[in-house]
Amino acid sequence: MLSVDRRALEGLPLKLLIMSLLISLTAPAVMGSLEGYERSIARSEIVSEANRLARLSEEVLSAGEGNRRSITMELPVVSSRYGLAVEVGGGIDNTSAYSIRCLEEDSVFSVIVIDDPPVRTVTMSGSPLMLEAGTISLMLECARVDGRLCVVVEASP
């Protein structure tokens, strides 16, 4: 019986070495997979919030000139780690005013074109409004700019 116990104690370090080797080989793959999952969840939440903004823009334009509505957007905090953002509006003569763009590291991964009815979203500065991680309050107003009916988007304090 003593010889059997001695073999078990001698084999234990080898078994522990094999287990630690297996764990060290699979850990990077598991961590990479979790990071990819987290990124895809953040991207889908960003697109969902951009769709909410697009629907509200359509409602504001449909309600007519002078209509004002506010929206509080909740962009995931983790999106800043991956460089995710939402870009809204543009200049009155720019075709990008008809879309809301979802960005990852300054490249577009999703575009929501507001075309039913066609809604021109503009900012008072004429440059697109960048929305990044966190809670953002926006004010949308249907107004006439340069004789054209559009939705003016502004960040609320």
- DSSP output for 106-141: TEEEEEEE-BTTB--EE-TTSSPEEE-SEEEEEEEE
The pLDDT of residue 3 is 56
The pLDDT of residue 79 is 87
43, 101, 114, 64: CA torsion to nearest 10: 110
The pLDDT of residue 18 is 84
- Return the closest-CA partner of residue 132 out of 49, 71, 59: 49
The pLDDT of residue 150 is 92
The pLDDT of residue 6 is 60
**pLDDT surpassing 90 at residue 135:** yes
The pLDDT of residue 4 is 58
pLDDT in tens, 92-126: 888 888 999 999 998 999 999 988 888 999 998 88
Kindly indicate the confidence band of residue 141, based on its pLDDT and cuts at 50, 70 and 90.
Answer: very high
Contact yes or no for 140/70 (Cβ under 8 A): yes
pLDDT in tens, 18-75: 888 888 888 888 777 888 899 999 999 999 999 999 999 999 999 999 999 999 999 9
Contact yes or no for 68/129 (Cβ under 8 A): no
Pairing, β 84-88 against β 99-104 = antiparallel
**pLDDT surpassing 50 at residue 137:** yes
The pLDDT of residue 7 is 60
The pLDDT of residue 1 is 44
Residue 108 pairs in a beta bridge with: 103
The pLDDT of residue 5 is 57
Token pair of 70 as six digits: 């506010």
